[in-house]
Amino acid sequence: GLSSYKDHQMICVQEMPERAPAGQLPVSVDVLLDHDLVDLMKPGDRLHIMGVYRAIPSKMGAFYRTVLIANHVRLITQDEQTSTMTAQDIKMIKQHAKDEDIFTKLAQSVAPSIYGHLNIKKAILLMLLGGREHNLTNGTHLRGDINILLIGDPSTAKSQLLRFVLNIAPLAINTTGKGASGVGLTAAVSSDKETGERVLEAGACVLADRGIVCIDEFDKMSEDDRVSIHEVMEQQTVTVSKAGIHTTLNARCSVLAAANPVYGQYNREKKPTENIGLPDSLLSRFDLLFIVLDNFDPTHDRRIGGHVLRMHRYRNEDSQGAQDSSARSLHDFATFDQQSTVEEEAPIYVQYNQLLHAESMRKDESLFSTQFLKKYLLYAKHRVNPRITQEAAAYIAKAYSDLRAKEDMKTLPVTPRTLDAMLRLTVAHAKCRLSRVATEEDAKVALEIMSYALYHEVQPGANTKAETEDEVSMDEDAEQVIEEARNAEEENVSASVSVGSKRKRNQRNFSDDEEDVPTAKRSKSTASQDTSSTITPGRAEEFGKLLVRFMTSRHLSECDLAQVTSKVNSMSPSQVFGDTEALAAVRFLEQKGNLLFRSGTVHLF
C-alpha cells in the first residue's frame, strides 16, 4: 500500500541515416522516459530530445551503461523542415514558378550530367513533388506518393538516377535487392540484451516515412522478401504480429526501384511481361514503369561517347592549384564547409559547362543549382495542395477508358490503380507550377508521361517547343564529327551517281511512256490499294521473321516502315514485298500482339 507506480519506457534512438558519416554505421543511444513522456512516439519518428546523459550500473558487474534520462521530447514536423528557407528564397521560388517552361527546366536540372532520359527525369521530378494524400471519414487512406520502376539493359544510368534522388531528397533511404530482407524493409522483432523483453526495430520503409526508399537490383530480391512490400506500396503501413507484439507502423514513402530484365538484357523478341518477370500484383502497385533500352544507333552512340569523354576531362577548380584536394586535412574540409554554409549564399543557377552538362541545355541557358532545386521541391511539396477541376477529372476519365480499350502490348497492366496514378501525376504537375488548381493541361502532361511509360511513345503535339529543341540539340564537337562523316559519304555518293547517270538516262529513253503517268494519279491509286489490301497469314509470318531478324541484328527497338521494307526485301524473301503488302503485314502482326505500329514507325519489344 505504500508503493507508488509510474509509467516507464526505454527507447533506442538512432542517428539520422542521411547525417551519418560516410562509411560508418549510425550511432544509437538508449533513452529513459518516465511519466507523461511514455508512448509519445513510435518507430520511425524523428525527435528532438533534451535530457541528462548519465552512466548507470548494469548487470555485468563492473561495467556501466550510458543512457539519456529525458525531460523533454518533441516531434520534428514537416513545418520545421521548411523553416530553413528565407523570405528571399520564397520570393525567388514564386517568381520562377510563373515561367511557362518551369516543368521542363526543373526536369533538365535533375541529374544534368546524365545524357538523355528526359521523360524519366520528368517522372522522377513528379515523384519528388508527390500527389495529394486523402484520409476519408470512413477510414480509407488514399496514398499520394508515386512509385516508379526502372527496368532495362545494363549501363543505362538507372543506378545513377537513384543516387541523384538520394542526394536531393530531404529523406531517402538506400538499399539493394540482395542486401535487404523482408524484415529489413518493414520491421523486425528482437530481444533486448538487458531486460530480455521483445522490442520492435523499424526497417527501411518505416524509417523513410514521408520520404523515398531507393531499391537497386530489385530483381535480385527473393519472392518472399518482395511480397513483404506489397502492403507498404499501397496501404503505406506495416502490420506486425510476432512474438506477442501486434501493432501497425506508418510507412508513407515512395518506392523508386531499378531492375534488370530476366535474361540480363532486354529480349526484343519477347513480350514486355516476359522480360520483366514480376507478378502483376506487384507491377500494378507501381504508378510508372520505364523500359530503358540500349539501342544501337551510331549517332546516339557518338553523342554519348563524346559526353562521357568530356566528363572525364573535367577537373574541379579547387584541384587545379598546386595542392591537390586529396591532400587536405579533415580540419580544412570542416572549416571550408562551415564558411561556405555561413558566409556564402547558394546560387540559383549553374552556368553552362561543356565538360559537365549533357545535350539537354544550350550555351545561352542555365540549370538550377542543386540547393535551389531542393528548396523549390520542398516548398512546392509541403506548401501547395491543389484540387482537381471538373474538366481535368473528365479528361482523365476519358483517357483512362481509352487506355483500357487498347489491346496493344503494354509494360504495365491498366487497372483502376492506373487511374489513381494519373490523378497523382496531375496533382504533382500542378504543384510544380505552385498552382492551387489542377487543370486539364496538367492532366495532358500526366497522360503524356503515362503513355510513354506504357507504350514508349509520346502523345502527338504534347511536347513543347523547348522540349523539341532540347531533344534535337547537340554539342559542337558531335556536330563537327557528324558533319565530317556526312561530307565523306556525300563525296562517295556523288562519285557513284556521276558514273551511273548515263545508264539511268538510257533507261529513261526506253520507258518514256511509263513516265508520262501523272504522279498524283499514281499516289491516289496507291492509297486506294493501301486501304483495301489484304495479305495471307503465311506472307505476314514471313515478313515478321525477316523483320525480327533485321532489327535484332541491329539492336533496334524501333524503325521506320520504309527502311524495314527495303531491308526485308534485301534478305531474299520468297517474293518481294511491296509497300502496300508490307503495311498489311505490319497491321496483321500488330493485331496478333507481336509489335506496335504508330505514326509510320514499327516498335518491336
**pLDDT (tens digit, 9 = 90+) per residue, 436-492?**
999 999 999 999 999 999 887 544 344 444 444 444 444 444 444 445 545 544 554
- Residue 297 pLDDT exceeds 50: yes
Pick from 232, 125, 243: which is nearest to 175 by CA? 232
Percentage of the chain lying above the pLDDT 90 cut: 21
**CB under 8 A, 24+ apart: contacts of 236-243:** 236/141, 236/143, 236/145, 238/186, 238/187, 238/203, 238/205, 238/206, 240/186, 240/187, 240/189, 240/200, 242/189, 243/189, 243/198
The pLDDT of residue 388 is: 93
> Which residues lie across from 288 on neighbouring strands?
148
- Residue 77 pLDDT exceeds 70: no
Cα distance between residue 112 and residue 351, in whole Å: 12
Q: Are 261 and 277 in contact (CB under 8 A)?
A: yes
Q: Give the three-class secondary structure for 271.
A: coil
String of b and e for 562-576 (b: at least 16 CB within 10 Å)? eebbebbbeeeeeee
Cα 341 from chain centroid? 30
Q: Name the amino acid, one letter, at 252.
A: R
Confidence of residue 254 (pLDDT cuts 50, 70, 90): very high
For the stretch 380-404, pLDDT in tens is 998 889 999 999 999 999 999 988 8
Cα distance between residue 482 and residue 485, in whole Å: 5
Q: Are 128 and 169 in contact (CB under 8 A)?
A: yes
The pLDDT of residue 380 is: 92
The pLDDT of residue 317 is: 54
Range 298-319 average pLDDT: 72
Q: Is the dihedral of CA 423, 428, 433, 434 positive or negative?
A: positive
The pLDDT of residue 268 is: 79
Cα distance between residue 146 and residue 533, in whole Å: 46
String of b and e for 96-119 (b: at least 16 CB within 10 Å)? bbeeeebbbbbbbbbbbbbbbbbb
- Residue 371 pLDDT exceeds 70: yes
The pLDDT of residue 499 is: 41
- Residue 514 pLDDT exceeds 70: no
The pLDDT of residue 313 is: 73
The pLDDT of residue 352 is: 61
Cα distance between residue 256 and residue 251, in whole Å: 14
The pLDDT of residue 397 is: 94
Per the structure block, which three cell numbers stand in for 400?
483512362
The pLDDT of residue 81 is: 53
Phi-psi region of 538 (alpha: psi -120 to 50; beta: other; left: phi over 0): alpha
Confidence of residue 156 (pLDDT cuts 50, 70, 90): confident
> Which residues lie across from 597 on neighbouring strands?
602
Q: Give the three-class secondary structure for 445.
A: helix
**Kind and range of the H or E run holding 468:** helix 465-472
Cα distance between residue 374 and residue 128, in whole Å: 10
The pLDDT of residue 52 is: 93
Q: Which residues contact 421 (CB under 8 A, 6 or more apart)?
A: 146, 287, 288, 450
- Residue 519 pLDDT exceeds 70: no
Q: Are 211 and 255 in contact (CB under 8 A)?
A: no
Sequence length of the chain is 605
The pLDDT of residue 526 is: 40
- Residue 281 pLDDT exceeds 50: yes
Range 298-303 average pLDDT: 79
Residue corresponding to grid cell 511512256: 513
Confidence of residue 265 (pLDDT cuts 50, 70, 90): confident
Range 211-230 average pLDDT: 88
> Which residues lie across from 61 on neighbouring strands?
none
- Residue 592 pLDDT exceeds 70: yes
pTM score of the predicted model: 0.68
Confidence of residue 422 (pLDDT cuts 50, 70, 90): very high
For residues 129 and 485, the model is more confident at 129
Q: Which residues contact 213 (CB under 8 A, 6 or more apart)?
A: 172, 173, 175, 185, 204, 205, 253, 254, 255, 256
Q: Are 31 and 67 in contact (CB under 8 A)?
A: yes
- Residue 220 pLDDT exceeds 90: no
For the stretch 167-196, pLDDT in tens is 888 888 888 888 778 888 888 888 777 667
Instruction: Supply the mean pLDDT for the chain.
Output: 77
Per the structure block, which three cell numbers stand in for 374?
531542393
The pLDDT of residue 497 is: 42
Range 79-108 average pLDDT: 82
The pLDDT of residue 430 is: 95
End-to-end distance of the chain based on CA atoms, in angstroms? 79
